[in-house]
Amino acid sequence: MRGSCERCGKDEEQKEEATAACEHLSRVLEAEQSSEDDSDSDLETEGTHGLGELVRDTLYLRSCQVHSVVPISCFLCQRSAPELNLRHRGLGPQGARALASSLSSSLSVKRLDLRDNGLCGAGAEALAGALSKSSSIHDLDLSDNQLGVAGAQALCAALTVNRAVQKMQLSGNGLEEQAAQHLAELLLAHTDLKSLDLSYNQLNDQAGETLGPALAENTGLTELNVSWNHLRGPGAVTFARGLEANIFLKVLDISYNGFGDPGASAVGEALKTNNVLEELNMSNNRISAMGALSLGLGLRANQTLRILVVSRNPMRSEGCFGLLKSVQDNPASALELLDFSDIQVNTEFDDLANSVKRILPALCIKTGARKVEYKKELLSVFRPALPVSVPK
């Protein structure tokens, strides 16, 4: 019963959207006919901006008829808004094809959000044709669309031709090592791309070996997110070496991978020479105390890193102590946040933290709660009051 009710609700919603779209189509066609009959002076009075929107809507509605899809009423209602938000609309490949025809002629859309629409590779290929011609879209979100290697290839090829897009989110698209080659080519060719999100994909160690050299040669990217992937082993080391040569990247998120001690050591080597990176997230990367000490060698020399997150790593208190000692030994350190969340530390670390705070008063040091002290606090709250004997 619940499934049938949900289907009925979706059917009613689609009918409403279809009705609204048909009404809009009739108004568009009437306006189109009247615009043809108007004099030149009338066109000058109204301007060409509204006419451009009219053309866009007409193209979209006609394309929906060709591809046998229900028009999305909110697309027609957003008109000249700089952001076109169509996330969770169930467009699919056919809906993407219908949308692509109007996007290539639109001059108002600056940000396009198509997250979670089941576009797949075919839908990405359709959008790639529009993106290769659009000069207005600068911010693109295609996350959670099952694009795969075919979709990545089409998009990267389009953005290599047209470099208008400066920010792109491709999170959760099942991108594997085969897609890494196309992404690497994009990093080498598209120097105007400033922010790239590749999180929640399946980029493995082979992908790291492909992306590392491209990262080293990239001359534009300032933010990169490759968290929640499978970068480990030699691929993680090669990727980190790319960071060593990069002179533009300011924010890097490599959390929830498998860099381990070799990867941490490679990042430490990169931090010795990298004088641009400001924020680095390495949480949950299987880094032990030995890996933390290797990472600390980079902190001893680095002068630009402001935020370092190494939470949820098995480095224990010894690793945290080694990292913090490296910061203490670097009077030129720019660190403002050192995050050891969910790692238990001892009193020796606390003593060192107090000493470092006197040297770097602006530094915030986050650690995990100490269970022993927490239990003591609970006991003090719930322990029943003892009877007090009053001397007679």
Residue 77 is predicted with a pLDDT of: 79
Residue 101 is predicted with a pLDDT of: 81
Taking the C-alpha atoms of residue 293 and residue 325, their distance in angstroms, rounded to an integer, is: 9
- Radius of gyration for the alpha carbons in the chain, expressed in angstroms and rounded: 28
Confirm if 279 and 306 have CB atoms less than 8 A apart: yes
Q: Where are the alpha helices (DSSP H) in the chain?
A: 2-37, 40-46, 49-67, 73-78, 92-103, 120-131, 148-161, 177-189, 205-217, 233-245, 260-273, 289-299, 316-328, 347-359, 371-382
Taking the C-alpha atoms of residue 224 and residue 215, their distance in angstroms, rounded to an integer, is: 10
Closest CA to 246 of 188, 301, 291: 188
301-314 pLDDT, tens per residue? 999 999 999 999 99
Residue 388 is predicted with a pLDDT of: 43
Confirm if 311 and 340 have CB atoms less than 8 A apart: yes
Residues of the chain whose pLDDT is less than 50? 1-12, 14-15, 17-49, 51, 370-392
Residue 52 is predicted with a pLDDT of: 55
Burial class (CB in 10 A: 0-12, 13-18, 19+), 144: buried
**324: which 2 tokens?**
């913090």
Residue 55 is predicted with a pLDDT of: 67
Taking the C-alpha atoms of residue 220 and residue 215, their distance in angstroms, rounded to an integer, is: 10
